[in-house]
Structure 1
Amino acid sequence: MTTRERILEVAADLVDRSPDGDVSTRAVCEAAQVGAPALYRHFGDKEGLLSAVVDHGFDKYLATKREYAPGADPIEDLRNGWDTHVDFALRHPNLYRLMNSPAMRRPPEAALESHRILTRDLKRAAAVGKLRLAPELAAQMVMSANVGVALMLVSRPATYTDTTMSRRVRDAVHAAVFTPDVFAPGETAAAREETEDFRIPATAARLNTLLHDSPGPSLTAAEGALMSEWLDRLSNTEG
């Protein structure tokens, strides 16, 4: 194990066992049996160390997503993605709070990769006409709600005791970004009418995703950019 790896392992363990999730560089140096210059040489400063700790811990969670072959149903994948995100937060509360702390001036790479994976799966939903709005906006909505629920569960467990809360919020947010037929496939007239209301935004989101994935030679770069802007505007129209 290299010096950097030893410092990282020790820091991660101290963060996990800390009452408030904070650690001092002195404590890390003492536990890793290294001098302060070695720590600063590898990580720059305390924020650099903590950012590396977050990436180190969250990387284990992302490893399962990187190796995971997308299923046939992107909606089910997105439901599972929400649930595994919350489960990770509950199993590693200090790490999760640290990852989302306002004190972190630069977002850890692991958090950015998680957002990219979410956007990828939402694009899959858009490609089959199941998304009401542009995948990028949908990703912001879903991630904001997912992180908010997870933070409340790990920060205020005495208040947030209802075990169904996360699922209820998940379904409410998904209802706002997916087309109605995802939840009520082809039954009542009311549901069919609501589906019609979102046909244009859903079609625009789907077409925009398909054009990004397989750009045709019939449009110039400028025309493609303008088409994408128009489709974004249509897909993000509030119903």
Structure 2
Amino acid sequence: MTTEESTTARRESTRARIIEAADRILRSKGPAAVTTRAVAQEAGLQPPALYRLFDDKEALLDAVAEHAFAEYVEGKKLVAATDDPVADLRAGWDAQIGFGLANPSVFALLSTPGRQSPTTEAGLDVLRGRVHRVAAAGRLRVPEQEAVDLIHAAGTGAVHTLLGKPESQRTTAVADALYAAVAATILGDAPALPADDTTAAAVSFRALIHRLPRLSEAERSLMTEWLDRATAE
């Protein structure tokens, strides 16, 4: 191992040590307890060691959230895509509810209003992808962003509601009912024909515009603008 490789290995080892220490504090005492001094003491390091690896407390918390989410995904296995985008959407919902209930402190951190987190954005990107597949299949009856907002809001609310109950009372009934309500709002029973549901047809067509190779980028952009206007309330 070269000197540079040894330095990099030590740096990564120290970084992992700090993240694990912050994770323990976060889970046992909550986000407010994750201070530079507390984390350094828990990790057996001096505070300057943290500053060399993380710009500030927010960067450290983001790293902890990413670490916790990666551990959860590894244990539960990432929900793989199937040939049924609607079933995949529901499986993603169940996975997110499960993560929130299994990691209440991390979930509280990720769902703090106004806080921008790479982990939260990554999760939303996955949701956007799943919603887009439903739209492309002709099963979405509202604009894609509206569906993403409804699912995200309902999922966040479901987890917060369940976490507010004693652990013995945390059944999936509330989450199941919320998903059913959202699904009834955003999903159609079958691929829509224009005569059946013009909004669903427009949403589906918008999701497939990129597959029309003979259109220029300007033409795709204009058509997207028309379809967005057509589906706006």
TM range (shorter): 0.7 to 0.9
Sort the Cα spacing of 1:67 and 1:215 in 2 relative to 1 into closer, same or farther, 3 A: farther
Contact 2:85 2:130 in 1 (8 A): yes
- The 5-angstrom pairing of residues 17-32 of structure 1 reads 17-18=28-29, 22-32=33-43
Give 5+ residue unaligned stretches, structure 2. Answer: 1-11
Structure 1 segments of 4 or more deviating over 4 A? 62-68, 158-162, 195-198
Give 5+ residue unaligned stretches, structure 1. Answer: 186-191
Sort the Cα spacing of 1:34 and 1:197 in 2 relative to 1 into closer, same or farther, 3 A: farther
What whole-Å deviation, never above 9, does each CA across 1:21-61 have from its counterpart, x for those lacking one? Answer: 63222111011111111111211122221121111111234
Q: What's 1:41 paired with?
A: 52
Q: What's 2:97 paired with?
A: 86
Q: Structure 2: how far apart are the matches of 1:62 and 1:41? A: 29
Sort the Cα spacing of 1:23 and 1:80 in 2 relative to 1 into closer, same or farther, 3 A: same
Ranked by relative contact order (alpha carbons within 8 Å, sequence separation 6 or more), the top structure is 1
Q: Structure 2: how far apart are the matches of 1:136 and 1:64? A: 30
- The 5-angstrom pairing of residues 17-166 of structure 1 reads 17-18=28-29, 22-62=33-73, 68-102=79-113, 104=115, 107-154=116-163, 156-158=164-166, 161=169, 163=171, 164-166=173-175
Q: What's 1:230 paired with?
A: 226
- Displacement of 1:216 in angstroms is 2.1
Identity %: 33
Normalised to the residue count of structure 2, the TM-score between the two structures is 0.84
Sort the Cα spacing of 1:168 and 1:198 in 2 relative to 1 into closer, same or farther, 3 A: farther
Could you tell me which amino acid in structure 1 is paired with residue 185 of structure 2? A
Q: Structure 2: how far apart are the matches of 1:101 and 1:38? A: 27
What whole-Å deviation, never above 9, does each CA across 1:188-229 have from its counterpart, x for those lacking one? Answer: xxxx9xx988611111111111112x1321x33222211101
Q: Tell me the secondary structure at the aligned position of residue 2 of structure 1.
A: helix
Normalised to the residue count of structure 1, the TM-score between the two structures is 0.82
Sort the Cα spacing of 1:51 and 1:19 in 2 relative to 1 into closer, same or farther, 3 A: closer
Q: What's 1:203 paired with?
A: 201
Q: How many residues were matched structurally? A: 221
Could you tell me which amino acid in structure 2 is paired with residue 216 of structure 1? P
Q: What's 2:4 paired with?
A: none
Sort the Cα spacing of 1:65 and 1:119 in 2 relative to 1 into closer, same or farther, 3 A: farther
- Displacement of 1:137 in angstroms is 2.3
What whole-Å deviation, never above 9, does each CA across 1:51-76 have from its counterpart, x for those lacking one? Answer: 21111111234558985431121111
Could you tell me which amino acid in structure 1 is paired with residue 25 of structure 2? L
Contact 2:40 2:47 in 1 (8 A): yes
